[in-house]
A and B are shown apart, each in its own frame.
Chain A
Amino acid sequence: MKNMSSNNTKHINRRAFLRNTTLAGGGLVIGFNLIQSCKPKVVKEAVIDLANLDYMDFNAFIKIAENGAVTIFSPNPEIGQGVKTSMPMIIAEELDVAWNMVHVEQAALDTKSFVRQVAGGSQSIRHGWDALRQTGAKAKHMLVQAAANRWGVDASTCSVSEGIITNANGETLGYGDIVKEAALLEVPEEVTLKSPKEYKIMGKDAPNVDLDEIVTGKPLFGLDYKVDGMLYASVLRPPAFGQELVSFDDSDARKMAGVVDIITIGAKLRAYLEKDNRFRSKISPSDKVVVIAKTTWEAMQAKKAIKATWEAKGTLESTEEHDNILNGILDGNDFVTQRTDGNVKKAFAEADDILERTYESPFLPHNCMEPMNFYAHVTDDKVHLAGPIQTPEWKAGLVAQMLERDPEEIQMDMTRMGGGFGRRLFGDFVVEAAEISDAIRKPVQVVSSREDDMTTGVYRPAIKYRIKAGVKDGKVTAYHLKEASINDSMYGLIPNFFPAGAIENYQVDTAAHKSEITTGAWRAPFTNFLASAEQSFFDELAEMMDVDKIQLRLDLLQKVKGTTDERIQYSPERMEEVIKVAVEKSGWGTKPKNVYQGFVNYYCHNTHVAEVADVEIENGEPVIKKITCVVDCGIVVNPTGALNQIEGGVIDGVGHAMYGDYIFKDGKPLANNYDRYKLIRMKEAPEVETHLIQNEFSPTGLGEPTLPPAGGAIANALKAATGNRFYKQPYTKNPELLKVPEKEIIG
């Protein structure tokens, strides 16, 4: 490990991916580590190769070297949300070390040492906030105590700055000098945490800890994971949802170059699904044909040569049929009520005016840039899994049950992920890799082609909302939202988001149609379209009521102030603030005549957001020029990372609302690659101007909350520009609606 070459761009040694790490605590741990060298980037003068020092174990999160350098293990999976940088920053802050002396490594799944090793729901920072601060502060406390013991002084007379402990006589000890003694002390029950004003690391920009490796092409991601003797597997899955394998002819494929074996999998998965059906909507239970080859390309090519026959028990589904089914649900009365306040029926009967509108969204594939993949090596001794997964604990447990192995025998290592967006929550590819390696007992990596990835997804389900509001004496007195969706319904606290609590008679009903098409979470599940629907509706409601659009929202929020309803987690005060700042910063209502604006305020994933979209007319067409985004996420741990998440979320929201469409016919999606599926690109991406609310509330996540408002903001701005309301995503679906009236062009 000490002699590993770093920055060698010409010869990548595959063995370097497997690293032996000697721990001071005794024993030899075979660790998976893709990071060959990791100098801190904040201070460029640092020349110490922090990755290759001898570190002594302190606790599960922290190792300290003699020179005071610190390795911090980042517990949660990194999907691009930046937690591999921000979570260690929180520990380093309370530990009181210099950030340029911190080396970060991705922790493996370790259910004994860590809790909630999950990337999902924008919750890593929010859930980790107290535990990470405590971890750093308790370690610091023990280090100071050890120094005080050696000096024979009271620990309270010592001070710490950047890993150097100083006593009243001016004597100093570094963390590295005292770490062995400190590790033997008892962990304190309670420690004092810093106040935000004392922060030295948090609140300052810390570039991505993997930045050097990313820009030089070092192996980091799942597909970069290679071990000697590893084979590649390409899986032939049913081409249409609902189909199952009948028979196949692999005689041509077997003759092809590099092919090692061709097998079928599925029996073990089905046996597992019989015991636990919760995973059923995430994976096809059919047998699948697997080509195992020496290289990725050979596996993919041979798969194309397999002639398979598939059969469906029922009729194959289509978007057209789903449209009718979902409309039927909305017209009917068969719903589950998620929340009800007052009496909407009575309030509608007494209303002066009623507005009712229906909003529609399609299935969406996730399209992580790194196609789905996973490594598995099943032997008699253990099951080694490695790769990009948002839910390592869930999948390790699932594999243990499916293969009937002791959970202790599962080793799960996490690589950096080329995007997650919810797709890597489900781990159908982990299950497949495990079943394949279990059959062949060799190290194998399952690799999806883009076509596999897109056509066998775990999609955002198609959803329709019907929203009805009643107005009496100039006030909104009733609000009724119905959701008709494929497979899953909105969950958790979503029915209690704004405007819950703001309208006396309020009801949210849901109903789902079971489909063979696999569906699941997609960045900001449900709210990713619900926000567009509701916030477009408010715009139209304000027009019907002939009141100011912003004022309508502010008036509604007043009723929520001081609520005792614990299900309501959004803060009307914090919502009011983001609204007011957005009005000011976006120049709302003061723009030149050729700038058409749309407004949205939203709360999800514990974060309050307001966005204003600016649309201008260029060459007779509306162009989304800019989004002003105001965010209240409490304390901002890492501003550069936060701004990146915010901008990315906004542009992702714009892109999918404008272009994202995924149509099924005969059980198959019509698009299978980027030639027929449009993702937003640089020219279409608007400028994003971000304003962060400064306060000292505990931090909340940013991976998702700025995405949902974007679709509504542009819908409202496009209405201002074209005069048309956009009830159906993607907004480019009907080009007629995007035509700008002649007078507007001249104006």
Chain B
Amino acid sequence: MPTYQIRVNGEDRTVDVSSDTPLLWVLRDHIGLVGTKFGCGIGQCGACTVHVDGVAMRSCSATVELAQDREITTIEGLSEDGTHPVQEAWKTIDVPQCGYCQAGQIMTAAAFLESNPNPSENDIENAMHGNICRCATYSRIKKAVKLAAENMD
């Protein structure tokens, strides 16, 4: 099997996997970063969202080949100690119920707020619409994104 060099949360990693292996499974099974979640495998639910060169991407639908020579950030690397404004907002609002989708929600929100620091409610809804929360914590997610936007100013 081919060897791939990828850079995850600022560290270079070498993995030995087939070229079609999704980044999601490289992170979870090969590197042991399980914060990125498996939800649907077809890019429809957003649970596996990571940042690739700062852009939110579904890691279940990005191959390891595509991830080469790019800067990958996972929920574990979003901040050193869980103090990214989006993480802080999630804690203040006490967003999660089961919590499974929340890493993907946070990664989507963090990338979105980088590109749109002063979003309208409509902007937030459009940005977060691709992430499913089966517990339906949507109103708290919306509040937390708003709060994070305020705190990022």
Contact = CB atoms under 8 A, between A and B. Distances in A.
A10 B37 contact: no
A208 B99 contact: yes
A133 B17 CA distance: 53
A216 B35 contact: yes
Contacts of A218: 35
A233 to B, nearest CB: 13
Given A217-B75, A226-B34, A418 B87 contact: no
A370 interface: yes
A221 B142 contact: no
Of residues A10, A12, A368, A645, which shows the largest number of chain B Cβ atoms within 10 Å of its Cβ?
A10
B53 interface: no
Contacts of B79: 216
Nearest to B92: A207
A210 B82 CA distance: 13
Contact of B25 (A296, A420, A673, A674): A296
B119 interface: no
A81 interface: yes
Interface in A329-385: 367-371
Contact of A369 (B45, B82, B94, B125): B45
Interface string A204-223: 01011011101111111101
Interface string A601-620: 00000000000000000000
Given A80-B135, A208-B99, A216-B82, A450 B40 contact: yes
A682 B125 contact: yes
Given A216-B87, A296-B28, A79 B34 contact: no
B76 A10 contact: yes
B123 to A, nearest CB: 12
A673 B90 contact: no
A645 B37 CA distance: 22
B33 A369 contact: no
B13 to A, nearest CB: 10
Given A9-B77, A207-B94, A297-B22, A674 B34 contact: no
Nearest to A225: B34
Interface in B76-130: 76-82, 87, 90-91, 94, 96-103, 106, 125-126, 128-130
Nearest to B26: A297
A690 to B, nearest CB: 10
A488 interface: no
Contacts of B132: 369, 674, 679, 681
B134 A211 contact: no
Given A214-B102, A648-B135, A208 B74 contact: no
A647 B36 contact: no
Contacts of A688: 139
Nearest to B139: A647
A650 B22 CA distance: 36
Nearest to A223: B38
A187 interface: no
Contacts of B1: 257
Interface residues of B, number: 64
B149 interface: no
B18 interface: yes
B11 interface: yes
B40 to A, nearest CB: 4
Contact of A367 (B18, B41, B134): B134
A640 B40 contact: no
A118 interface: no
A221 B100 contact: yes
B5 interface: no
Q: How large is the interface on A (under 10, 10 to 19, 20 to 34, 35 or more residues)?
A: 35 or more
Contact of A645 (B75, B77, B97): B97
A651 interface: yes
B47 interface: yes
Nearest to B24: A297
Contacts of B136: 647-652, 655, 680, 685
Nearest to B138: A685
B25 A295 contact: yes
A487 interface: no
Contacts of B36: 217
Interface string A196-210: 000000000101101
Contact of B129 (A224, A232, A650, A681): A681
A10 B128 CA distance: 27
B141 interface: yes
A681 B45 CA distance: 10
A81 B98 CA distance: 7
Contacts of A392: none
B9 to A, nearest CB: 6
B99 A210 contact: yes
B40 A10 contact: no
A39 B64 CA distance: 36
B78 to A, nearest CB: 8
B98 A295 contact: no
A211 B34 contact: no
Contact of B40 (A9, A79, A226, A673): A673
B90 to A, nearest CB: 5
A673 B21 contact: no
Contact of A685 (B39, B97, B139): B139
Contacts of A214: 96, 99, 102-103
A41 interface: yes
A4 B125 CA distance: 40
B11 A215 contact: no
A82 interface: yes
A674 B41 CA distance: 10
B44 interface: yes
Contacts of A82: 97
Given A681-B129, A687-B139, A205 B33 contact: no
A418 B44 contact: no
A194 interface: no
B29 interface: yes
Contacts of A651: 136, 138-139
B35 A371 contact: no
Interface string A645-681: 1011111100100000000000000000111000111
A648 B97 contact: yes
Q: Which 8 A-B pairs have the closest CB atoms?
A: A217-B35, A80-B98, A418-B100, A217-B75, A651-B136, A9-B76, A674-B44, A214-B99
9 contacts: A10-B9, A205-B94, A215-B75, A296-B25, A369-B98, A419-B135, A651-B139, A679-B132, A687-B139
Interface of A: 7, 9-12, 14, 41, 79-82, 205, 207-208, 210-212, 214-221, 223-224, 226, 232, 257, 295-297, 367-371, 416-421, 449-451, 640-641, 644-645, 647-652, 655, 673-675, 679-683, 685, 687-688
Given A217-B36, A651-B139, 10 more contacts: A216-B35, A370-B39, A370-B98, A419-B134, A450-B41, A648-B137, A649-B136, A651-B136, A674-B44, A681-B129
